[in-house]
Amino acid sequence: MTSPITTPASAPSRPPVPPSGTSPVPPPAAASARRARRHARRRELGACGALMTPFFILLVTVFLIPVGTALWLSFFGADQPGLGFGPERTVFVGLRGYTAVLTDPTFLGGLGTVVLYCLIYIPLMVTGALALALLLDSGVVRLRSWAQLGLFLPHAVPGIIAAVIWLYLYTPGLSPVIDLLAGADITVDFLGVHTVLPSIVNIALWSNLGYNMVVFYAALQAVPREVIEASVVDGAGPVRTALQVKAPLVRSSIVMVAMFTLIFALQLFTEPMLLSQATPMIGSRFSPSMYIYDAAFTRNNYGLAAAASVVLLVCTIALSYGVTHWSNRVGAPEEDTR
Amino acid sequence: MPGRQSRRSVLATIAALPSAAALGACGGGTSAAVATRGTGAAADGGGRRPTRITFWSALRGSQDVVDAFNRTHDTVQVDFQQVPAGSMGGYAKLSNAARAGNAPDVATIEYPQIPGFAIDGVARDITGLVGDRLRAALLPQALGLTTFDRRVFGVPLDVEPMVMHYRTDLFAEYGLPVPRTWAEFEEVARTVRRKAPGRRLAAFATDGAPQFASFAWQAGAQWFDTRAGAWNVSFADAPSRRVAAYWQRLIDQDLVVVNAVDGRQYDAQIGGGRVLTRLSGAWEAGAQMNARPAQKGKWAVAPLPQWSPSAAVLGTHGGSTFAVTSGSRHPEAAMEFIEWQVSHPDALRARLAGGTSSQYPAAPGLVAVGRRAFDRGYYNGQDLYALFEQEAHKIRDGWTWGPRMSASLKVMQDGFARVGGGRGSVIDAVRATQRGTMPDLRALGLATTEHST
């Protein structure tokens, strides 16, 4: 930024003239300079456009158009009156799909399942990843890069493969884990009525813990060393340093990880979908995403599936907004006191 | 029309995006090229071109039937494609093909799924194509199951009265009478548990909503009723509650095993004699012969126990129908093939040449063919077809399957599975089915009511 003194007071709206060797610029030269500037601006805009077009193309094709389609499908239906055996006609059906979804106990049950899943999964994930990152950062862990690699590696395994691996480990008769426990006279049914949700949480933790740990670890690297030294000088032990000095300094990363985890958790699909083939305790409408899949592809009920998708989208947006808003409010006073 | 299709295919693509699991489930993606084959072959046929139609089925022996048809017919030729069983992806494949406009001319659909495919516009209204001769050849109760709102949407191939398959050797060993009523059945179950603690009389199938439907059907339930011009849904009506309470009592007293009947566990239970009876359709007699040749001479078939022997009624368990699809360009040729398949003795002979089967034909005229072809050795010479014939006439008329039957039965089985896991009760599962079905039907825009007894 050039200081306001170098630009004439009479033209505050004009972009500032960069300081150059030549004093008072004559009007024709000013015009050519303006042209050059406009040209540069156009090039800048062009680059901007070229760089951002892919984003907007993707935003439109994989987000806005699908959302629009879902909205359209949820409000218009190909109806046949009465028993449904007559010819179809497309009519505006209003909130029919939404009423159906919100009065469907199987959908509400799925929402309840996901809420329970979030309540178990998100705290475990955030505290687990943070604890591991703090351990790595504290230097307690030897062979740091190997530990980091080992923890991160599961994230490189696609979710579907992870579910298959764990399915193998959970299935009685196949699983070496169950055999081993049986040898110690412990019988575990990983796919029973009460254990199936923790089993899914376990798969998700295994897959994502390392990734989030890396996020936290990177944030911890940015913590100024003087602050750590100061706390050590003040007599804080390593645990106290970790919990009361480092952790608050990476608060924004914690919020971000919690939010992303929440968004992914709400869309719970792959793990239960695969496990459902091995246990009847996971129904075809276990989570909202599975409900949507079932409504569209086994019940051929596109209006219902679309309405359920919109409901899930609204829930996700509302929760994300809630988390951001809440963390800003909680964070603000802290910033003030600092 | 094109607008609707593209809209749906866009949605299908979107819905498939969130996970690769969805891709795995849509295994039927390669069907697009199939339907066009028939017309291509017809075009280069030269002078007398036979009409070519396509036929999809998961039924064993279908290829033999098609071969026999093609040998004996000049004007119509059939291209057959074996597809997976409905619940294994066959129905999804049919729905997708119909949406994409390349469904086969003739599809195989089981009874419970007929109304769904009719509402979705996959199965064609063939009322005008079903002639008097075909109508007269079929068991009226069977045709009733494919008729909705006085419109016919499918032609029954076989109709399967539910019967009781039982272990004669173990019944003799423990001195058990063959139960004729459900009260006697419960008594026998108690005796079995007392005399042989490792064995049980029967299984309550946690994956067996169709079995439960058959029990309810027999007891007089009416889960769906279209007579008043709307879909009346009442899963938990008085007869269903009676059946649910009966099986709940057997479960609570540990008189039956409670597990899935499709799987290795149940295979072992039957193979090891830990379960003495199975309550299922007539077709299972042949399935048993194929699955366990070593148990030859140890099984017999008896009528299903009744609530009141003086007024004996039954439900069915299993059975298939053939439908002409709405997109078919040769509905008359398709009907000619279907009529031959379900009513001509050569068709049944060809089907039975593909392997042992005890299916009970929906056309009573074919029973003699089935009886002659069936090897009675396995069942100690018992004339099963005479029994089936007697039982088929007891099938209670007026039962109606619902518009989203696969989904309804799945909700019920999810509930039964929880019963097997020690949570909830049979009637809870039945009530959950009611609650899980209604939103679906409402969202489809169907007129619905919920009157119940």
- In order of their start, the domains of chain A are 110-337 (1.10.3720.10)
**pLDDT of res. A155:** 84
Structure tokens at A105: 């106990």
Question: Do residue B182 and residue B55 come from a single domain?
Answer: no
Residue where a domain terminates, one of B297, B328, B358: B358
pTM to 2 decimal places:
0.83
Question: Do residue B227 and residue B300 come from a single domain?
Answer: yes
**pLDDT of res. A15:** 47
Q: Identify the residue with better confidence: B47 or B259.
A: B259
Question: Do residue B292 and residue B405 come from a single domain?
Answer: yes
Question: Do residue B285 and residue B411 come from a single domain?
Answer: yes
Least CB-CB distance to B439: which of A104, A158, A273?
A104
pLDDT at B131 over 70: yes
**Weakest mean pLDDT among A135-139, A214-218, A248-252, B251-255:** A135-139
Q: Identify the residue with better confidence: A281 or B47.
A: A281
Assembly ipTM: 0.80
Crossing angle of the two packed helices A159-170 and A196-221, in degrees rounded to 10 = 130
Work out whether strand B277-281 and strand B231-233 pair parallel, antiparallel, or are unpaired: unpaired
Work out whether strand B162-167 and strand B299-303 pair parallel, antiparallel, or are unpaired: antiparallel
User: Is B148's CB within 8 Å of A100's CB?
Assistant: no
Q: How confident is the model at residue B422 (pLDDT cuts 50, 70, 90)?
A: confident
Q: Where are the beta strands (DSSP E) in B193-303?
A: 202-205, 224-225, 231-233, 256-259, 277-281, 299-303
**pLDDT of res. A141:** 64
Query: Considering the domain boundaries, does residue B384 fall inside one?
Result: no
Q: How confident is the model at residue A236 (pLDDT cuts 50, 70, 90)?
A: confident
- State how far the Cα of B56 lies from the Cα of B328, in Å rounded to an integer: 13
**pLDDT of res. B453:** 85
Question: Do residue B195 and residue B258 come from a single domain?
Answer: yes
Say if CB B186 and CB B250 are below 8 A apart. yes
Question: Do residue B295 and residue B331 come from a single domain?
Answer: no
**pLDDT of res. A27:** 63
**pLDDT of res. A61:** 92
Query: Considering the domain boundaries, does residue B134 fall inside one?
Result: yes
Q: How many CB atoms lie within 10 A of CB B129?
A: 18
Per-residue pLDDT tens digits for A8-39? 444 444 444 444 444 555 566 777 888 888 88
Residue from B441, B437, B438, B448 nearest B119 by CA: B441
Element (H, E) at B55: strand B51-57
Average pLDDT over residues B105-113: 96
Say if CB B339 and CB B135 are below 8 A apart. no
Whether chain B has a CB inside 8 Å of the CB on A268: the answer is no
Contacts of B91 in chain A (CB under 8 A): 298
Per-residue pLDDT tens digits for B260-282? 998 888 999 999 999 999 999 99
Element (H, E) at B324: strand B320-324
Q: Give the best residue of A285, A301, A304, A310 to mutate against chain B (max B CB count within 10 A).
A: A301
Say if CB B281 and CB B301 are below 8 A apart. no
User: Is B417's CB within 8 Å of A280's CB?
Assistant: yes
Query: Considering the domain boundaries, does residue B38 fall inside one?
Result: yes
Per-residue pLDDT tens digits for B193-243? 999 999 999 999 999 999 999 999 999 999 999 999 899 999 999 999 999
- State how far the Cα of A275 lies from the Cα of A296, in Å rounded to an integer: 20
Give the domain range for residue B340. Answer: 2-156+320-358
**pLDDT of res. A146:** 82
Question: Do residue B31 and residue B81 come from a single domain?
Answer: yes
pLDDT at B76 over 90: yes
Say if CB A121 and CB A177 are below 8 A apart. no
Work out whether strand B106-110 and strand B320-324 pair parallel, antiparallel, or are unpaired: antiparallel
User: Is B7's CB within 8 Å of A80's CB?
Assistant: no
**pLDDT of res. B23:** 35
Contacts of A81 in chain B (CB under 8 A): 445, 447
Work out whether strand B155-156 and strand B320-324 pair parallel, antiparallel, or are unpaired: antiparallel
Element (H, E) at B140: helix B140-145
Question: Do residue B333 and residue B272 come from a single domain?
Answer: no
Question: Do residue B346 and residue B299 come from a single domain?
Answer: no
Residue where a domain terminates, one of B328, B358, B388: B358
Query: Considering the domain boundaries, does residue B368 fall inside one?
Result: no
Question: Do residue B289 and residue B430 come from a single domain?
Answer: yes
Question: Do residue B120 and residue B220 come from a single domain?
Answer: no
- State how far the Cα of A200 lies from the Cα of A163, in Å rounded to an integer: 9
Residue from B321, B327, B253, B295 nearest B5 by CA: B327
Question: Do residue B33 and residue B86 come from a single domain?
Answer: yes
Average pLDDT over residues B137-147: 93
**Amino acid at position B142, single letter:** A
Query: Considering the domain boundaries, does residue B117 fall inside one?
Result: yes
Per-residue pLDDT tens digits for A200-212? 999 999 989 989 9
Query: Considering the domain boundaries, does residue B353 fall inside one?
Result: yes
Say if CB B407 and CB A299 are below 8 A apart. yes
Query: Considering the domain boundaries, does residue B381 fall inside one?
Result: no
- State how far the Cα of B274 lies from the Cα of B299, in Å rounded to an integer: 14
The count of domains in chain B is: 2
Q: What is the CATH classification number for the domain harbouring B305?
A: 3.40.190.10
**pLDDT of res. B38:** 40
Residue where a domain terminates, one of B358, B384, B413: B358
Say if CB B383 and CB B90 are below 8 A apart. no
Query: Considering the domain boundaries, does residue B377 fall inside one?
Result: no
- State how far the Cα of A50 lies from the Cα of A54, in Å rounded to an integer: 8
**Weakest mean pLDDT among A11-15, A161-165, A231-235, B342-346:** A11-15
pLDDT at B159 over 60: yes
When mean pLDDT is compared over A324-328, B253-257, B356-360, the highest value belongs to B253-257
**pLDDT of res. B49:** 84
